[in-house]
Each structure stands twice: as C-alpha cells, then as structure tokens.
Structure 1
C-alpha cells in the first residue's frame, strides 16, 4: 500500500498519502461487507431449502432476484454517484444491504426472504462503483489501475468470510443468530462512513460543468452511443462469457453440488470454495500485470480461461460416478480465473469510449456477467427440479452460455480492434496539432 502514497503527482491531481489510504480503505471495507452479504447464501443454500421448504428452482430465485436488482442498478448508480457524491450513495447502500441482511435473518416465509435479498442486492449495487469513484478522487490518476485492482482483491476476500466463518457459525448457532449477527457489521460501517468518509481531499473539489446536458433524452442518447461502440459490445460479451461459471458456483450451487452430488462434507466443500477465492486473488494479480504490459494478451487470456473452464467442467461432469478430489481441486483453481478474466471486458470498453461515457460503459459491461449468472442460476434450478437433482444435466448449461459468448466475442473482436486503432491514431494526431 506504500506505493499508492508514493506515486508521482501530476498538476491538479489529488496528492494521495496516508489520509487518502485511510478514507479509501473505509470505502473498500464497505464493499468488503457487501461481498460477504452477497455470497452468504452460497454456504446456506441447503439450510434455506429446509427453512422455507422450497425446491431448487425457488432457491435459485433468491440469487436471481438479487443479481437482477444488482445488474439493473449499475447505470442508475453511476449517475447517482455523479449527482450526490460517494459518501451519500455509500450510506444509502449500507442502509439497504444491512436491512436486507437483517430481514433475511428474521424471515419465516419465502416471500419475505425474497424481498430481503432484493433489498440486499440494491444496496450491494451501490458499493463497487462508489469505491472506484472514491479512489479516483483521492489518488493521482496514474495510480488508478492499482487502486481499482487492490479494491477488487480486498472485496473478493469477503468470500472468505462467507466460506470460512459464516458457514461454521451457521452450523453452530443456526440461521437467525448467524445472519442477524453479521448485520451488525453493516451498522458499524454506516457509523464510520458518516463520521469519517469524505468525497475528496480539501481543495480538490470537482468543478461543476454547466455545459453538460441532462434529462431522459440525454440518458438514452448516452446509453445508445456507448453501446454503439464495438469495444463496449465486446467488453459486455467478454464479461458475459467469463464471469458466470465462478459466480454461480460461489453464489449458490457450489456447496449443494459438492455435498449432494460429490459426497463431500460441508467442511471439505467449504475448503474448495475457499480455494476458488484464493485462486481468484492470485490470478487477478497475474492477469492485471500481464494486460497492463501486453495489450494483445487480452483476447488470449479471456478465451483461454473460457476453454480451461469448459475443459474442467467437462472432466468433472463426464467422470463416471463421483469425480476424484484432485479433479475437483483443478475445477476450483480454474474457476478462480473467471473473475480476473471478466475484468478484461472493462479493458476493451475503456479505450472505446470518451471520458464522459466511461461510467456508462462500465455499467453496461458489468451487466454482462450478471446477466449470464442470472440465466444460469435459473436454468440450473429448473433442470435440477425437472431431472430429480441430476447435476450433470443441470450444469451442462455452462457449455451453452459459453458457446453463445465465444461466438459473439469472435464476431466482434476484429471490429473492436480496428475501432480501437482508429481512436489511438486520431488521439495521436490531435495531440500533435494541439498548440503549445
């Protein structure tokens, strides 16, 4: 973290430093808690089925609704952060996701629990974009990629709390104490944010731009122009194709699959889910550095991850009987690469759009993986109910969505690269002709 504060500062850039690390770290802590709440159902799926007396399709509806709200909020949250500032939006997000987690703890009926997860998803949606905005306000622009990468890694550690802590606490204390107790973290975050978080350093207030248009027409035009760029579409499909296999596994179906289909204990299944998170954090550092140094590595890394994921799932699902433990380890290590690969989608959308459209572009790309995750969560649940819990058939959905995504990536890749080169040449020409 020292490197963040020692970055060279350009004129007009925020200075960084220890106070920047402290304020930004508080925002990241809010995101960390959000990820913990988001993934808490992943270790409680079996308990939820027993508590609410529901089948696989109804269970999948929890995560589907949560992700539907999350994805639908991406673009509105970006606009909200620009208008209200990070501190207010993060505070609203904390209130919503804490109420959602606490409501889930007290829910006795399926409908109430479903509404609580929707509320949680709405609050969760307000965290990551806010944290990215906070980093850009407190640190020099040159440190932006590093700040975003570290924020993502710390947020992923929230999965570890779910798999290592919540899973064991749930077995010992039961449903209501576990989820209600975890909601205390949200209340603590709200107090800290209200007391200590600031949108920007003193003297670095953003200047309002009176020339920026507003209204529904502008928003529709902004979205349409952003989507028109081949790089935005390619980013969407890269995110769509790479993220969902790990998201579905961690969010809901991993624990039931490992316990019910593979015969593992809950403790052993929890260790494999933890392995996915650890692999994600390690691979994220490698992918991030590789793409930063070699722009041409984006497509090989993304497509290579998709191929490795398909091969790992093919090996597990085609194995006669229960797969050996070593093969399940390989599957979880490979699934850990899905999250870092999905971040490559943002690297395609970023150079394709001018600065005033980057928030919209990021929101569109981020919707890709969550759309695929919602589709897979629903399909797996329906197929499990229809086939009597046949996980081989249910998880074959992964291959269908990967096939759709790869075909779109291959179709858009050439156009996006040509458009990116055109923008780069135009930018260089414009720089040359700017008067001294």
Structure 2
C-alpha cells in the first residue's frame, strides 16, 4: 500500500514548490527576454516590424503546439524529468541566440526556446496538485503565476541595463546560465509525489492515448477553460512580450527607461490580483466565470479609452491601462482551474495542456496581426501613434470571439454536469469542489458525446 511520506502542504511541500517556482521564474525571464530587446533585434538582424514579431510568434507557436504532447508526457513521466529537460533546452536556446547573427538562425533558437518553455508551467502546476490539499490548490496556483511573474520584472529594467553594460551576447548568455542552475536544483530537490513509491505510469497504446485526449476535449469544462485562457491573457501578453515597449516609446513618446520601468507594473499589480482571484475561486467556484468576464471587460474598456484619446494619452491613463489589463494573468489561471475541476487527476496533464494553448494561440495571433497592420499602416516609414492605434484595434476581434465562446461553454459545462453528475453539480453550486473520479469522468464525457451528436 502506498504511504504518505511527507504531509500535504508541509515543509517539504514548500521546498519542492519553491524550487519549481524558481524554475518557472527563470523560464518567464527567457520568454519575455524580447520585451526590451525588440529595437536592438531589429537593428542587429535588419528586419521589419512583422519580421520582428515573428520571433515571438514562432516561439509561441511552438509553445502552443507542444502543450498537448507535453500534457501526455507529464501524465506519464512526472514533473521532475520534464523540468530538467526544459532547463537544458532553455540553456541551449538562449546560448545560441546570444551568438547568432543571421535572422533564420535566430528564429531557430527562439523555436527551441518555445519547446523548453512549453515543458515548465503545467509541470509546476502538477507539483501544486501533488503536494497541496485540494482546497489550497487555487490559491497556490495563483501564487505560482504571481511569483513566476517576477521573471517578467527581470526581463525589463535589469535586462535593459544589461544590454547597456555587457551587450547582446553577454546579456543572453548570462540568462542562459540561470537555467543550468535551476536544472541542478530540480535534480536534487524536487520529488514528483509525497508518497513512498516513485512515480510510475503504465505505458499506453496509441489508441488509449487518443481516447484519453478525446475524453478531455469532449469535456465542456475543458473547452470553457481553453476559451477563458484565450480571452483573458492575450492582451497583456501581447503588450508585455513585444508591442508594449515600442508602443510606449515610438507611439506615446515615453522615454525608453521609463517605458522599461512601466513594464514592471503588471507584475506588481499581480501581487494584488493573484491572491484575490485565488481566494474567490476557492470560495465561489460556481461563479468563477463572473470574474473572468469582469477581467475581459476591464481590459477592453481601458484600451477603448487609450485608442480613442486624441493624440498621445497622458501618463496616468497609460498607467491605469497597464494596471487594469494586468488582471488578465490571474484571470487566465481560472481556465486552468476549470481543467482541474472538470477532469480527473489521470487526465490533468492532457486537459491542462489543451487549456494552456488558448492564451498562447490568441497571443501569437495578436502579435502577428499587430505587426502586419503596423507595416501596412506605416508603409515602411517610422511608426506613429496613429499606426499603433490602428494596429491594436485587432484586439477587439479576439475579445469578441472569446467572450461568445465562454458564455457558450459555461452553459454546456453546467448543463452536462447537472444532467449526468447531479451530486457533483449540487456540490459545485454549494461552492464545494468534489474531484472527479475516472468512472464518473467517463460518464461525464459520454454525456458530452451525446450532446455533441445532438447538435
């Protein structure tokens, strides 16, 4: 019989989680390393705005494409092996990016970075699920995202200062070394579970893997999570990963050092949003979608104010925009919380992988389209505030699509759960989360299949 060696939520749990979070923090640093390097990259590789956007688009495309395969690997091999592999890939990618001088080679390096990045986040969430009690998992998940966001701080002002003092190669090579350090920490400090038996996963046939994926995908709660992640996170990610800095500097006339400092604000705002959203999700799981819709409405409202402002917006308005849209990060975590609520532990990796593709697909679409629209509007001339405003209106297309899908799958998820698992549905309405077992989940998935065939 498997015995619990370490108490859930005890000291060892905090040590394992802390190591995983530091690994995620360094990964976020790598992911956002283009945030203040965009102008230097354009000069180094002599490329246009759309070509510059392709660095982040390629990185995020690979990330999104890897999420479902990574979920399958996570269910089989556990967090530790995937985090070690990620550290090696991130070291290789950033080392190569620090040295290459051709545009195609740089794109290849960002693609490898996307693979390494894809392995990390849901592996860290698996650590939370394995080492902490169910009632604390929403708050711990929010804390994971919040503390990982410190990497975004390091990728702004400190990296901008590093570019000034040690140049392109020194900055990216130094960032690469950090992944070697975290890889060693994972090797010696992380254990997949607090139980006495190591993680062993039975080998699954290709047919079994496909059936498992189909069950996760047919679950309306999984799709609700995907569209939640899609709609809440892309605006802030587009701003912080690439276009925020050029928009502020070239469009709004903000000084480069001030613009870099402003990119820290989303992380600081997340220190407030994260705990609030986590506690709300833990206390009122049935009403999580209301905070999702509020996050979307807030971001759309503030962008409307900025885009309609005559000429350049004043600094207080820009600061309020950044702070309000920062709620998208904690809001997107609720999508992953839906995956946990509506799927059993045996499918956690696959379902979370599907959900986690949402925001990154939306972000890469938005980043790419903003670059294309900027080039079309400017005609090759230096971009103006009008060019940026025109390009950034594309966000409303994604907000509209995503909001419609959230409302659609919220209804389906609730209806399916109420019809085929009424006890679990009533518990959820009473703001109690009852984990799905494999047998109930299969029944739940069959219910979705019936609804799908009836449409």
Q: Tell me if both proteins adopt one fold, taking TM over 0.5 as the criterion.
A: yes
Which of 302-311 and 138-147 deviates more? 138-147
Normalised to the residue count of structure 1, the TM-score between the two structures is 0.90
Matches within 5 A, 1:33-432: 33-201=26-194, 203-206=196-199, 208=200, 214-388=204-378, 389=383, 390-422=387-419, 424-427=421-424
Structure 2: how far apart are the matches of 1:279 and 1:81? Answer: 31
Which of 35-44 and 168-177 deviates more? 168-177
Structure 1: how far apart are the matches of 2:337 and 2:134? Answer: 16
Cα 1:27–1:296 shift into 2, 3 Å: closer
Structure 1: how far apart are the matches of 2:134 and 2:360? Answer: 28
Is the contact made by 2:159 and 2:171 (CA closer than 8 Å) also made in structure 1? Answer: yes
Unaligned runs of 5+ in 2: 428-433, 435-455
Is the contact made by 2:61 and 2:364 (CA closer than 8 Å) also made in structure 1? Answer: yes
Is the contact made by 1:96 and 1:123 (CA closer than 8 Å) also made in structure 2? Answer: yes
Cα 1:104–1:416 shift into 2, 3 Å: same
Question: Residue 13 of structure 1: CA displacement?
Answer: 7.7
SS at structure 1 position matched to 2:336: helix
SS at structure 2 position matched to 1:174: helix
Question: Residue 118 of structure 1: CA displacement?
Answer: 0.8
Q: CA RMSD in A?
A: 2.3
Cα 1:143–1:205 shift into 2, 3 Å: farther
- Residues 344-394 of structure 1 show CA distances to partners (whole Å, capped at 9, x for unaligned) of 222333332233223221111111111100110110011111111311111
Counterpart residue number, 1:7: none
Structure 2: how far apart are the matches of 1:292 and 1:367? Answer: 24
Counterpart residue number, 1:8: none
SS at structure 2 position matched to 1:41: coil
SS at structure 2 position matched to 1:54: coil
Is the contact made by 2:142 and 2:333 (CA closer than 8 Å) also made in structure 1? Answer: no
Is the contact made by 1:352 and 1:423 (CA closer than 8 Å) also made in structure 2? Answer: no
Structure 2: how far apart are the matches of 1:180 and 1:363? Answer: 30
- Residues 184-234 of structure 1 show CA distances to partners (whole Å, capped at 9, x for unaligned) of 21122223333333334462434x576xx7222222222222221222222
- Residues 8-50 of structure 1 show CA distances to partners (whole Å, capped at 9, x for unaligned) of xxx8484143333223212221111100010010111111111
- Residues 272-315 of structure 1 show CA distances to partners (whole Å, capped at 9, x for unaligned) of 21111111231111111112112343222111111111111111
SS at structure 1 position matched to 2:113: helix
Structure 2: how far apart are the matches of 1:324 and 1:225? Answer: 50
Unaligned runs of 5+ in 1: 1-10, 432-436
Normalised to the residue count of structure 2, the TM-score between the two structures is 0.87
- Residues 313-352 of structure 1 show CA distances to partners (whole Å, capped at 9, x for unaligned) of 1111111111111110110011110111112222333332
- Residues 108-127 of structure 1 show CA distances to partners (whole Å, capped at 9, x for unaligned) of 11111111111111111111
> What is the count of residue pairs matched by the alignment?
419
